[in-house]
Structure 1
Amino acid sequence: MNSPHPESGLAGSVEGAAGAGGQAISASQYVTFEAGDEVFAVAMAPVQEIIRVPDVVRVPLSPPTLDGLANLRGKVLPIVSLRRALGFADRAADDASRAVVIDLGQPIGFVVDRVASVVGVDASKIEDVGSISGTVNAELLSGLIKDIGGHAMVMVLNFEKLIAQEFAQIAAIGRRSSEGHSPGTASTVQALDTSPDDDELQLVSFDVAGQEYAITIEDVQEIVQVPEQIIQVPHAQAHVLGVMTLRNRLLPLVALRRMFVLAEQDANEQSRIVVLGIGGASVGVVVDKVNEVLRVARRDVQAMPSLLAQDESMSDVSEICRLEAGKRLVSIICTTKLFRHSVIKEALNAVNDDSQSTAEDHAHEHSGEDGRRADDDEQVVVFRLGSEEFGVPIDSVQEIVRVPDLLTHVPKAPASVEGVINLRGTVLPVLDLRRRLGLAAIARNDGQRIVVFLIRGVRTGFIVDAVAEVLKVPRRAIEAAPQLSDEQSTLLARMANLEKQKRMLQLIDPAYLLAAGDLQHVAELAA
């Protein structure tokens, strides 16, 4: 997503004239612009700047006039279609289109067809709007200017009323602030019960050359995509791919295919790096694809048979997990044993020799990368719905499983419920997150996953298009999302604005995933 930049010329003069809060400009200066077949004006005082129409992240549960959210120099900026807000036919932005950034308590960018000019208007030339009849609701106008800037008639838009009409939440920000409430925050109704039972293991499973392996989730720091550039380490063993930069630190990378003496395969869009940590050290292991986050009963886990344990290629595998009545075997890798492996040691030493001193290692052990404390990050599971990325706290996720070929549909179940599945002997109600967020449905496909939460005592699964990664997000990059509707301001109250990566993650509060009316019905299905 590209960060928008102010226009030169006209927009630059607008930004310079407006100054800080518009205090230095004359009250009679107006910016004129076109939308539809009409010409409008706005007093320049609330105009912060005029920018090219930026790329946006689309927000579910928001008013239909909202195109999405953009990144304006590190700040989240709502982008609104003025055409749709005024009831004109929609059209795609072109080279002449601009976003006029208006600040009336919170900056909002209004997309217009073309910005015309900045004009000076004598107060005596502004007429009342009572006599206006036409395509625009007169209640959204504050005046009428005749014979100005080469136009016979220019309507002065009242953006305060327009915002109040389209965004009741934004219009209420000032009132809430004056009452001592902090805008854009949402309190969790009830903490989600996410701690695994004593008789369960929580595992991240992945494939390497067609074989399924897993690592306990507490040893997984994050899961990221394979970068385009990997820095080679001279004279390293063949198993060491090199190092990558991960948030201002060097992370050594090891190919599990090579470690396990398996056939080579180039990285593709499904390949992932599972970042493992132990004792302050971190290493990334490259796997073919990440499958699921599993909760398995300890009774389904058994120690590696002694005969196999003596095999050097299996020395890092400590246990075998038997699922689906023994039809599915998952090899559990012991991270402690893995870090004792000579290849892992060499990878860590290569990074230390190349860029880090022992003193820096101790600092990282206590502070995390780039000098931050470990608790300065929030670990989130990132998933996709269409082209947009969403995140949930990793502690809220019970597990992530494949979508079965068949979901059992329940008669008279709420419309939001897709069906139920048998998850290790228990009934799991499954909802489509697209439908929950008011997005268009898509056909079932192999990339979809069910993310399982425990919401107020009810274990519930939500279908997502794809699970992308597990990511550590600096808390300083997390901010309150603009309040666009009552439901959005609770369910999607926060955003992670990763400006350097040109990404925005909409953070979901899982406590609000079940609407109040659905909770009882879903609980009955689960029972």
Structure 2
Amino acid sequence: MAEAGRERVLVVALADDGPRVALPAERVRALAPIPALTRVPGAPAFLAGLAERRGMALPVLDLARLLAPATVRNRPSPALQGRMVVAEANGPVGLLVAGIVGLEAEPGGVAILDLPALVADLLPRRPGGAADVEASRSHAEPQPASPDAAFLALTVAGQTYALPLGAVEAVTRRPKAVAPASGAGSFFPVAMPWRGQALPLVDLATRLGLAGGAGTRVAVLRGVGLVADRVGPVLRVRPEAIDPVPRALRRAGPAADLAAGFLRRDDGTLVCLLSPQAFAGAAEPARAAPVAAGTAPIVVVDLAGRAYGLPAGAVCRVERAPEALVRVPRAPGDLAGMLAVRGGALPVLDLRRRLGLPPGGTRGRLVVVEAGGVRAGLLVDGTARLVRPEAGAIRPAPRGVADELAEGFGAALTRVADLPDGPLPLIDPAALLDRAALPGRPVA
């Protein structure tokens, strides 16, 4: 706390009918409603989370939990009502308060916060700034190697998290019956059968300190399964929109290293990027089955009672099939129509028509793929799971199978992946879109 000076101050209330503090007005940059906050796993209670503001991740502190925790003992964290003060304290920071009392010439006996000193103790920065960011980036995992990095979304207790797509071996359902995971450690109380072994399961809601649990979907990493409410879709993010977790936001504790960074999406939301090593690294070495070199994940789609595979690297997103499309006059038979998207229109292909199958059935999902600079949507009956074939499991389709498939897909379907539950025909998106009569190059 600093002694009162002659500068104008902004007096704020920490809680309803609770204590008040003053902020130097020269350090206040804006007043705003409380934004959507993304929690940092393992962070202390006073760090309400991160908010997206003007293309950057803004750390947001709950002043009541920091300065007067007794006044908010029974209040949910973070605060759901009140205001956020954006202030400058060796960098921008958000401060949650219960209310704004007013801008005053004198604090009137209320203590003035020394914001730089307060924030320096909580969120220390190196003098060089950029060097600290680079050091934090080296800790964040993974570093994107392509212009568009791909991540798999996981929904846990209503919140969205993400994993690097390349770290996920498969996505499957959690069986109704699970067995105790003997000798697997406190984080692995139960296990499920997986490829002839017992796969330890981590309930993400419990691990992240969220209400909920008993999710139905499992994302399989190296030697461990992460249980979530929902898995998918695939998120594509530009490298410059991937921010590391600043070292200063990390605190010692069992969940301190779960977050590897944050993804800034085009809609302004932040998604916490989970570190695969924080989960898989805790599994027993004997249980950690190696991921075969050269394999890539495949999205399995359902079509007319049959399963097909699409390379996950070509899948931009998966969403519900649109209720209506804009028809294109004299369009080829497999072009179902155009879907209005931001900045243009997306051509949508009906794979049932491409295969010459009857129109019966419900087109439950739209899979947006991109290959060769062309983007299009594919109508399918459903998306089932994510798999990662073992090395050597992908081979040319047998002659009889290739002839059968070629009638509808042609050169777009000439390979199969041998999976434990049978061969999976693989669709080549580049060949599929190259043969399709698409009206121009879509924008999505």
Task: Find out whether 1:448 has 2:368 as its counterpart.
Answer: no
User: What residue is the counterpart of 1:56 in the other structure?
Assistant: none
Q: Contact (CA 8 Å) 2:296, 2:311: kept in 1 or not?
A: yes
Superimposed CA distance per residue, residues 220-279 of structure 1 (whole angstroms, 9 cap, x where no aligned partner): 222233245544223655541433443344432211122012234434xxx3221224xx
Structure 1 unaligned spans of 5+:
1-195
Superimposed CA distance per residue, residues 399-431 of structure 1 (whole angstroms, 9 cap, x where no aligned partner): 223147566526435443334446665643222
Question: In the TM superposition, what is the alpha-carbon distance from 1:390 to its structure 2 partner?
Answer: 0.9
User: What residue is the counterpart of 2:428 in the other structure?
Assistant: 509
User: What residue is the counterpart of 1:150 in the other structure?
Assistant: none
Q: 1:338 to 1:409 in 2, by over 3 A?
A: same
Superimposed CA distance per residue, residues 295-334 of structure 1 (whole angstroms, 9 cap, x where no aligned partner): 12234443447786549657522333333532x4322112
Task: Find out whether 1:332 has 2:273 as its counterpart.
Answer: yes
Which of structures 1 and 2 has the bigger CA Rg?
Answer: 1
Q: How does 1:482-493 map to 2 (within 5 A)?
A: 482=400, 483-484=403-404, 486-488=406-408, 490-493=411-414
Structure 2 length-normalised TM: 0.55
Superimposed CA distance per residue, residues 158-215 of structure 1 (whole angstroms, 9 cap, x where no aligned partner): xxxxxxxxxxxxxxxxxxxxxxxxxxxxxxxxxxxxxx88443211111111111111
Q: 1:401 to 1:484 in 2, by over 3 A?
A: closer
Give me the whole-angstrom Cα distance separating, in 2, the residues matched to 1:317 and 1:405.
34
Give me the whole-angstrom Cα distance separating, in 2, the residues matched to 1:305 and 1:441.
53
Superimposed CA distance per residue, residues 70-89 of structure 1 (whole angstroms, 9 cap, x where no aligned partner): xxxxxxxxxxxxxxxxxxxx
Give me the whole-angstrom Cα distance separating, in 2, the residues matched to 1:337 and 1:295.
22
User: What residue is the counterpart of 1:224 in the other structure?
Assistant: 172
User: What residue is the counterpart of 2:234 in the other structure?
Assistant: 293
Give me the whole-angstrom Cα distance separating, in 1, the residues matched to 2:418 and 2:279.
35
Q: Contact (CA 8 Å) 1:295, 1:398: kept in 2 or not?
A: no
User: What residue is the counterpart of 2:218 in the other structure?
Assistant: 273
User: What residue is the counterpart of 2:316 in the other structure?
Assistant: 399
Q: 1:394 to 1:219 in 2, by over 3 A?
A: same
Task: Find out whether 1:234 has 2:182 as its counterpart.
Answer: yes
Q: 1:495 to 1:201 in 2, by over 3 A?
A: closer
Question: In the TM superposition, what is the alpha-carbon distance from 1:452 to its structure 2 partner?
Answer: 0.9
Q: Contact (CA 8 Å) 1:389, 1:506: kept in 2 or not?
A: yes
Q: Contact (CA 8 Å) 2:341, 2:443: kept in 1 or not?
A: no
Counterpart pick for 2:299 among 361, 381, 392: 381
Name the aligned partner's letter for residue 305 of structure 2. S
Give me the whole-angstrom Cα distance separating, in 2, the residues matched to 1:197 and 1:410.
39
Q: How does 1:277-426 map to 2 (within 5 A)?
A: 277=222, 282-304=223-245, 309-310=250-251, 315-326=257-268, 328-339=269-280, 345=282, 348-349=283-284, 352=286, 365=290, 374-375=293-294, 379-395=297-313, 397-403=314-320, 405=322, 409=326, 411-412=328-329, 413-421=331-339, 425=343
Q: Contact (CA 8 Å) 1:403, 1:463: kept in 2 or not?
A: no
Q: 1:468 to 1:319 in 2, by over 3 A?
A: same
Q: Contact (CA 8 Å) 1:496, 1:506: kept in 2 or not?
A: yes
Q: 1:400 to 1:524 in 2, by over 3 A?
A: closer
Name the aligned partner's letter for residue 506 of structure 1. P
Give me the whole-angstrom Cα distance separating, in 2, the residues matched to 1:296 and 1:424.
17
Counterpart pick for 2:380 among 457, 461, 464: 464
Name the aligned partner's letter for residue 311 of structure 2. P
Q: 1:473 to 1:337 in 2, by over 3 A?
A: closer
SS of equivalent to 2:214: coil
Task: Find out whether 1:256 has 2:187 as its counterpart.
Answer: no
User: What residue is the counterpart of 1:431 in the other structure?
Assistant: 349
Question: In the TM superposition, what is the alpha-carbon distance from 1:496 to its structure 2 partner?
Answer: 4.1
Name the aligned partner's letter for residue 416 of structure 1. D
Q: 1:431 to 1:486 in 2, by over 3 A?
A: closer
Name the aligned partner's letter for residue 356 of structure 2. G
Give me the whole-angstrom Cα distance separating, in 2, the residues matched to 1:300 and 1:260.
23
User: What residue is the counterpart of 1:123 in the other structure?
Assistant: none
Name the aligned partner's letter for residue 409 of structure 1. V
Give me the whole-angstrom Cα distance separating, in 2, the residues matched to 1:444 and 1:485.
22
Name the aligned partner's letter for residue 273 of structure 1. V
Give me the whole-angstrom Cα distance separating, in 1, the residues matched to 2:203 and 2:230.
13
Question: In the TM superposition, what is the alpha-carbon distance from 1:492 to its structure 2 partner?
Answer: 3.4
Superimposed CA distance per residue, residues 350-391 of structure 1 (whole angstroms, 9 cap, x where no aligned partner): x74xxx7xxxx7xx65xx5xxxx545x664221112432111
SS of equivalent to 1:409: coil
Give me the whole-angstrom Cα distance separating, in 1, the residues matched to 2:442 and 2:302.
27
Give me the whole-angstrom Cα distance separating, in 1, the residues matched to 2:433 and 2:150.
24
SS of equivalent to 1:202: strand
Q: Contact (CA 8 Å) 1:230, 1:241: kept in 2 or not?
A: no
Name the aligned partner's letter for residue 298 of structure 2. V
SS of equivalent to 2:169: strand
Give me the whole-angstrom Cα distance separating, in 2, the residues matched to 1:291 and 1:380.
13
Give me the whole-angstrom Cα distance separating, in 2, the residues matched to 1:419 and 1:305.
46
Q: Which has the higher helix share?
A: 1
Q: Contact (CA 8 Å) 1:222, 1:274: kept in 2 or not?
A: yes
Give me the whole-angstrom Cα distance separating, in 2, the residues matched to 1:251 and 1:330.
27
Q: 1:307 to 1:410 in 2, by over 3 A?
A: farther
Q: Contact (CA 8 Å) 1:407, 1:420: kept in 2 or not?
A: no
Give me the whole-angstrom Cα distance separating, in 2, the residues matched to 1:236 and 1:250.
10
Give me the whole-angstrom Cα distance separating, in 2, the residues matched to 1:287 and 1:461.
27
Question: In the TM superposition, what is the alpha-carbon distance from 1:286 to its structure 2 partner?
Answer: 1.4
Q: Contact (CA 8 Å) 2:310, 2:426: kept in 1 or not?
A: yes
Q: Contact (CA 8 Å) 1:492, 1:507: kept in 2 or not?
A: yes
Q: How many residues are paired up? A: 294
SS of equivalent to 1:319: strand
